[in-house]
């Protein structure tokens, strides 16, 4: 992708609106509010001049180099660390900030997965329930905005449901978020199952978690646990709200999860909780936080 296209897409965004700063191209470089960024177009990451430029952290967001072996090409090119903006089964560590980032060691972990936007939402939700009441078993559904992996019009796709028009259908599909939660919260490994529904909105998603707890609870108790976490150890990661919001209200929200207390349901030891998330802005905020931790 050339610098002109990148500049245009930074300046104008169909969801988040127009960028408020100054964006220009100078001698082939992208310049944003006076900060200069080199632009490269290279198929093999090993050929990128990371060492020459003194690059410590590379964010691997192409969607192509998503294994440890492939992402390591950036290390060969001279980078100090690689953060993959997607799940990676064999990364040195998968990190969800607020959940297991205390295990992150930059001296040891060089290939790091920031997990997925859904995992960054569901992991704090599950952690609060488990820490407060004990989570015996759970199932969740992510009702997710469509993504560029889907087709705008019906067209061939290996997932026949995803072959259908994204903006015209509610599309059931798979998600690896349940397995990913087990990586960042080993005590919940094997206790969660999940499915996804892709829906016709461009941004703004919600996770619906149903869990069997170790004891009986009320909705008020559950909400109190989430509010305490949002005001305390998960501040900046989890937001608690009692407002009757809808998906467009959380677009641009930097939190990983916005717990919607108004629709919490409890019956005995069975509980149902909902967490909103901006699958673009919220996830990108955590990605930036993680890079800052490493840099």
Domain with residue 290: its CATH number is 3.40.50.720
Number of C-beta neighbours around residue 52 at 10 A: 9
**pTM across the whole model:** 0.95
Asked whether residue 181 falls in the same domain as residue 290, the answer is no
List active site positions: 117
Contacts 24+ apart (CB under 8 A), 221-225: 221/133, 221/266, 222/129, 222/132, 222/133, 222/264, 222/266, 222/271, 222/273, 223/259, 223/261, 223/264, 225/128, 225/129, 225/132, 225/133
Task: Give residue 18's domain range.
Answer: 3-115+285-294
Q: How far is residue 265's CA from residue 283's CA, in Å, rounded to a whole number? A: 27
Asked whether residue 135 falls in the same domain as residue 239, the answer is yes
DSSP assignment of 41-66 equals: --S-GGGS-HHHHT--EEEE-SSS--
Asked whether residue 100 falls in the same domain as residue 142, the answer is no
Give the C-alpha distances (Å, rounded to integers) separating 195 from 77, 141, 143.
38, 5, 9
Instruction: Give pLDDT tens digits along the chain (295 positions).
Output: 889 999 999 999 999 999 999 999 999 999 999 999 999 999 999 999 999 999 999 999 999 999 999 999 999 999 999 999 999 999 999 999 999 999 999 999 999 999 999 999 999 999 999 999 999 999 999 999 999 889 999 999 888 999 999 999 999 999 999 999 999 999 999 999 999 999 999 999 999 999 999 999 999 999 999 999 999 999 999 999 999 999 999 999 999 999 999 999 999 999 999 999 999 999 999 999 999 999 7
Asked whether residue 200 falls in the same domain as residue 74, the answer is no
Q: How far is residue 85's CA from residue 95's CA, in Å, rounded to a whole number? A: 11
Asked whether residue 232 falls in the same domain as residue 107, the answer is no
Asked whether residue 69 falls in the same domain as residue 163, the answer is no
Question: What does DSSP say about strands 23-26 and 29-32: parallel, antiparallel, or unpaired?
Answer: antiparallel
The total number of structural domains that make up the chain: 2
């Amino acid at each position: 992708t050339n610098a002109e296209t990148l500049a245009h897409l930074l300046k104008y965004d169909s969801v988040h609106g127009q960028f408020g700063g100054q964006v220009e191209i100078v001698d082939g470089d992208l310049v944003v509010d006076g900060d200069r960024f080199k632009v490269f177009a290279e198929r093999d990451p090993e050929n990128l001049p990371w060492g020459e430029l003194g690059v410590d952290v590379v964010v691997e967001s192409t969607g192509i180099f998503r294994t440890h072996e492939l992402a390591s090409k950036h290390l060969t090119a001279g980078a100090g660390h690689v953060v993959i903006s997607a799940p990676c089964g064999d990364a040195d560590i998968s990190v969800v900030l607020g959940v297991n980032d205390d295990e992150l060691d930059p001296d040891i972990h060089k290939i790091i997965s920031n997990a997925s936007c859904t995992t960054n939402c569901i992991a704090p939700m599950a952690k609060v329930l488990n820490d407060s009441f004990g989570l015996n078993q759970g199932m969740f559904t992510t009702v997710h905005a469509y993504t560029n992996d889907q087709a705008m019009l019906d067209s061939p796709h290996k997932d026949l449901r995803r072959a259908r028009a994204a903006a015209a259908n509610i599309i059931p599909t798979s998600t690896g978020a349940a397995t990913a939660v087990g990586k960042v919260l080993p005590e919940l490994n094997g206790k969660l199952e999940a499915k996804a529904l892709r829906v016709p909105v461009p941004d703004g998603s919600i996770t619906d978690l149903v869990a069997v707890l170790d004891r009986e609870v009320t909705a008020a108790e559950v909400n109190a646990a989430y509010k305490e976490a949002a005001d305390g150890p998960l501040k900046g990661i989890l937001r608690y709200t009692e407002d009757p919001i809808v998906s467009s209200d959380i677009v641009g929200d930097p939190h990983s999860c916005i717990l919607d207390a108004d629709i919490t349901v409890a019956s005995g030891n069975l509980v149902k909780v909902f967490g909103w998330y901006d699958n673009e802005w919220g996830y990108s905020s955590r990605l930036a936080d993680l890079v800052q931790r490493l840099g």
